[in-house]
Amino acid sequence: MTARIPAPRILLIQDDPDGANNICGALASASGGSFEVEWVRQLSAGLERLVKKGIDAILLELPPPDSRSLLTFDKLYAATPDIPILILGGNDNEALAKEAVARGAQDYLLPGHLDDFSLSRAVRNAIERKAAADALYLERERAEVTLNSIGDAVLCTDISGEVTYLNLVAETMTGWCREEATGKPLAEVFRIIDGVSRKTARNPMEMAVEQNRTVGLTVNCVLVRRDGFESSIEDSAAPIHDRAGRVIGAVIVFHDVSAARAMSIQMTHSAQHDLLTSLPNRLLLNDRITQSIAVARRQKKHVAIIFLDLDRLQYINDSLGHAIGDELLQSVSKRLLGSVRSSDTVSRQGGDEFVILLSELARPEDAATSAQKLLHSLSAPHLLGGHDLHIDGSIGISIYPADGSDAEMLIKAADTAMHHAKEHGRNNFQFFKPDMNLKAVERQSLEGGLRCALERKEFLLHYQPKVNLLTGEISGAEALIRWQQPDRGLVPPTQFVPIAEDCGLILPIGRWVLREACRQARAWQDAGLPLLPIAVNVSAVEFRDKGFVEGVRTILSETGLPARYLELELTEGVLMEDAESAAAVLLELKAMGVRLAVDDFGTGYSSLSYLRKFPIDALKIDKSFIHQDTADPDESTIVRAVIAMGQSLRLRVVAEGVETLEELMVLQGLDCDEAQGFYFSQPVAAAQFADLLQRGTADVFIH
């Protein structure tokens, strides 16, 4: 069963009834299928009928030519621009009919063409043509809207390579508007270059036409806008064919990838660099080490890995805040970068750790020079946020091929060596040695043991006398911690204090030492022994602890030891590092009545003007100077200078590590106030020390 297509409905507007009859008849019996005709005599009636819809075409008889005849048409056309209008003209007004066609009518028919066949054909053609034109218009409109609403730029050319079309995005990106661009050669409107070589890139349209297929364009393609602005683009070109399959032009589609390209460059950078310092991170460093090893292997050279750990960053973070800590890290990275060759890599491993790769090293010893330089570069104060910050580092060095064959092994060896440097009093460097691995294991086991040593009461104090060089009397005692370790025996503090400092255990251990020393001093006093000040060593970590001053106060009151019988020994580094807050803490202690001494004097870099600021009572000259200087009396300059300086600042000067009579005599000659050392006595247990005190002194010590 076929669906019946309704006959086209025609509205005939004609005043003359005879003519109208003729036309109705002709259309009703048309051979190609009949029409339904509705006839009205007046335009006004026609307009009314049109409101009700359903009309497929209009036949309009033009009135005899006069000033209003075209007005009739215009009114009708304005009311129904979608319905085709055919003009029925008289022989005498063909010109008028033509004018109506120019204004929008589909066609006109003269009286001679009103036979069945011509009329019905003309009407049918008009309906079809109108439908086709509408469809085409819609199609165009759809294409135009689509092309202007997509994010891609679209540009078309004809076969001769002249621009025929640009959508809005293409207009913006090329800087050409469609009117101006149309007819211009493609190369003028679409200027593309290779982003790397900056040479003109190949004309994409030519390629598409030549290969007759869609082609992707040059990688790294850069579009140069009419005003010179450049953007990275990604694009493709496709040929356009006519119905016969012949190529008649090309479409180029492109879009801006500048942001994406910038983002991918940025992503690669951040994946390989440390955010804070912009230095290469572990990932990139590993790559570089691997490359350097490959080169060194071929050229029979060495590679050095320098592991640097900053010594007091945590303290700066805690006391001055992380913002200053961050700035310090940035300042440190600049100094490090400034002290290596550009072919070397300075990387940050995170926290306060940096790893420096020295490539193509002729001799392993050269790494020592670099390490020295790096340490030196850090040593000048960093002026940040109004503070003069001092920071130093400990360095471990490993060498390819001796200490490892890949990045991981070399970094691990350098790390191990760095820990040894720390144990050697910081601010120095150590080359990796195979037995360090053993020591690393040892260190682990010591740390494990330390954790329960307090609980198990494995610590004890030994006391070493200080002697007044004028009178020969014992003028004080220094408490020195010992660890009675079940498997190892008596462990000296140099072996475990640095570990305890690193893992924070020094805080409870230090409290214990202070309490035990004060308790002992008070007990000796209560036993009627001579009243002597007791000296206790305070490590940097303890001194910086916020609760330190209060801890001292509590312990003094708990043990009942008057504050003037307690002397705290601090090293230079502790004081110099953050002189201002150190001075504040010292003043609090001083106000309490506690005595203060600078230990190991001469090993750090004290500034005299700073020392003056501190409420200090005594300087203890480091034992290394006593041995060195007194071995050759002419070289006793440092000792001489320190004693003179101490005297000028009205400080007591104590010489540490006096082992021989010669040393003692030199010191006496220089008017040193006090001395301490094996020459007088080893550090001894409390009971033995009580014996020393009881026996009196002069005959025992002064020979």
661 is a site residue for ligand C2E (CB under 6 A): no
Our finding on whether 569 is near Mg ion (CB under 5 A) is yes
Torsion of CA 691, 693, 698, 699, to 10 degrees: -10
In angstroms, the CA 575 to CA 581 distance is 9
Work out how close the CB of 600 gets to ligand C2E at its nearest, in angstroms, rounded to a whole number.
5
Rg (CA), the chain: 50
- Closer to ligand C2E at the Cβ: 39 or 459? 459
CB of 599 to ligand C2E, least distance (A): 5
Q: How far is CA 228 from CA 181, 223, 393, in A?
A: 17, 9, 52
Phi, psi of 87 (to 5 degrees): -95, 130
Cα 356 to Cα 35, 106, 383: the distances in Å are 95, 86, 24
State the minimum distance, in angstroms, from the CB of residue 304 to ligand C2E: 32
Q: State how far the alpha carbon of 321 is from the alpha carbons of 314, 354, 573, in Å.
A: 10, 21, 20
Candidates 595, 586, 639, 594; CA nearest to 613 is 586
Interaction partner, residue 305 (ligand C2E, Mg ion, none; CB < 5-8 Å by kind)? none
The minimum distance between CB 458 and ligand C2E, in angstroms, equals 14
Taking CA atoms, 136 is separated from 36, 140, 241, 398, in Å, by 27, 6, 18, 79
Shortest separation between residue 480's beta carbon and Mg ion, angstroms: 7
**Shortest distance, position 517 Cβ to Mg ion, whole Å:** 12
User: 467 vs 480, which CB is nearer to ligand C2E?
Assistant: 480
Residue 6 structure tokens: 């309704």
Segment lying near Mg ion (by CB under 5 A), choices 356-364, 508-516, 517-525, 534-542: 534-542
Instruction: State which of residues 40, 306, 513, 616 lies at the interface with ligand C2E (CB under 6 A).
Output: 513
How does strand 230-241 pair with strand 85-88?
A: unpaired
Interface pick for ligand C2E out of 493, 573, 602, 646 (rule CB under 6 A): 493
φ/ψ (deg, to 5) at 123:
-65, -45
Q: Which of 414, 436, 481, 585 binds ligand C2E (CB under 6 A)?
A: 481
Q: Which is nearer to ligand C2E, 327 or 600 (CB)?
A: 600
Strand spans (E) along 572-693: 595-601, 618-621, 652-655, 674-675, 684-685
Pick 14 or 539: Cβ nearer ligand C2E: 539
Tokens of 485: 């370790």
What does the per-residue mask of binding to ligand C2E show for 88-107, with x meaning CB under 6 A? --------------------
Would you count residue 480 as binding ligand C2E (CB under 6 A)? Answer: yes
571 binds Mg ion (CB under 5 A): no
* Site membership for Mg ion, residue 61 (CB under 5 A): no
Question: How far apart are the C-alpha atoms of 456 and 309, rounded to whole Å?
Answer: 33
CB 614 to Mg ion: min, Å: 17
Least distance from C-beta 662 to ligand C2E, angstroms? 13
Q: Which of residues 630-689 bind Mg ion (CB under 5 A)?
A: 656
What track of x and - describes contact with ligand C2E for positions 664 through 683 (by CB under 6 A)? -------------xx----x
- Strand, coil or helix: what is 473? coil
The entry of ligand C2E, Mg ion, none that residue 192 binds, CB within 5 to 8 Å by partner kind: none
- Helix-helix angle 548-559:579-592, to 10 degrees: 20
DSSP H helical ranges for 380-462: 407-423, 435-453
Nearer CB in complex with ligand C2E: 84/657: 657
Q: Which of 434, 432, 273, 285 is nearest to 358 (CA)?
A: 285
Q: Which does 683 bind (CB under 5 to 8 A by kind): Mg ion, ligand C2E, none?
A: ligand C2E
Q: Using the Cα atoms of residue 449, residue 450, residue 452 and residue 454 in order, give the sign of their dihedral.
A: positive
403/599 with CB nearer ligand C2E: 599
* Tokens coding 412: 């691990």
Tell me which of ligand C2E, Mg ion, none is bound by residue 513, counting a contact when its beta carbon lies within the kind-specific cut-off of 5 to 8 angstroms: ligand C2E
Residue closer to ligand C2E (CB basis): 14 or 537: 537
Instruction: Out of 108, 657, 692, 701, name the contact with ligand C2E by CB under 6 A.
Output: 657
CA-to-CA dists, residue 231 to 174, 218, 237, 259, angstroms: 10, 14, 18, 9
Q: Which stretch binds ligand C2E (CB under 6 A): 21-29, 273-281, 403-411, 489-497?
A: 489-497
Q: Applying CB under 6 A, does 494 fall inside the site for ligand C2E?
A: yes
Report the run of H or E that residue 315 belongs to, with start and end. helix 313-320
Strand partners, 86: 59, 107
Site string for ligand C2E, 447-466 (x = CB under 6 A): -----------------x--
Secondary structure (3-state) at 234: strand
Among 427, 539, 559, 636, binds ligand C2E (CB under 6 A): 539
Nearest distance, CB of residue 379 and ligand C2E, angstroms: 22
Please tell me whether residue 572 binds Mg ion under the rule CB under 5 A. no
Bridging pattern class, strands 85-88 and 302-310: unpaired
Identify the CA nearest to 350 among candidates 371, 328, 334, 329. Answer: 329
Of 357, 497, 549, 582, which one interacts with ligand C2E (CB under 6 A)?
497
Q: Is 602 in the site for ligand C2E (CB under 6 A)?
A: no
Quick check: 599 binds ligand C2E (CB under 6 A)? yes
Residues that contact ligand C2E, how many (by CB under 6 A): 22
Selected from 56, 392, 567, 600, the binder of ligand C2E by CB under 6 A is: 600
By a kind-dependent CB cut-off of 5 to 8 A, residue 481 interacts, out of ligand C2E, Mg ion, none, with ligand C2E
Place of tokens 């819609």: 138
Q: Tokens 């050409």 — which residue?
A: 176
| DSSP code for 41 | S
Residues in 587-626 that interact with Mg ion by CB under 5 A: 599-600
Q: Provide the minimum distance between the beta carbon of 674 and Mg ion in the complex, in angstroms, as a whole number.
A: 13
Which residue reads 């009703």 in tokens?
Answer: 28
- Name the residue type at position 406: D
Q: Residue 520, interface with ligand C2E (CB under 6 A)?
A: no
Cβ 421 to ligand C2E shortest distance, Å: 17
- DSSP per-residue letters across 98-128: HHHHHTT-SEEE-GGG-SHHHHHHHHHHHHH
Burial 574-601 (b: 16+ CB within 10 A, else e): bbbbbbeebbebbebbbeeebbbbbbbb
Taking the complex as a whole, the smallest distance from the CB of residue 462 to ligand C2E amounts, in Å, to 7
- Cα angle, residue 409 at apex, residues 407 and 414 outer, rounded to 5°: 95
Alpha carbons 105 and 407: distance in angstroms, whole number: 86
The least distance separating ligand C2E from the CB of residue 456, rounded to whole angstroms, comes to: 18
Q: 83 or 481, CB closer to ligand C2E? A: 481
Tokens matching residue 101 = 């066609």
497 binds, among ligand C2E, Mg ion, none (CB under 5 to 8 A by kind): ligand C2E
Distance of CA 587 to the CA centre of its chain: 42
Which range of residues in 64-72, 93-101, 319-327, 653-661 is near ligand C2E by CB under 6 A? 653-661
Could you say which of 537, 539, 630, 676 contacts Mg ion (CB under 5 A)? Answer: 537
Q: What are phi and psi of 193, to 5 degrees?
A: -130, 165
Residue span binding ligand C2E (CB under 6 A) among the ranges 33-41, 162-170, 303-311, 487-495: 487-495
Instruction: By CB under 5 A, name the binding residues for Mg ion.
Output: 537, 569, 599-600, 656
Instruction: By CB under 6 A, name the binding residues for ligand C2E.
Output: 464, 480-481, 492-494, 497, 510, 513, 537, 539, 569, 599-600, 623, 656-659, 677-678, 683
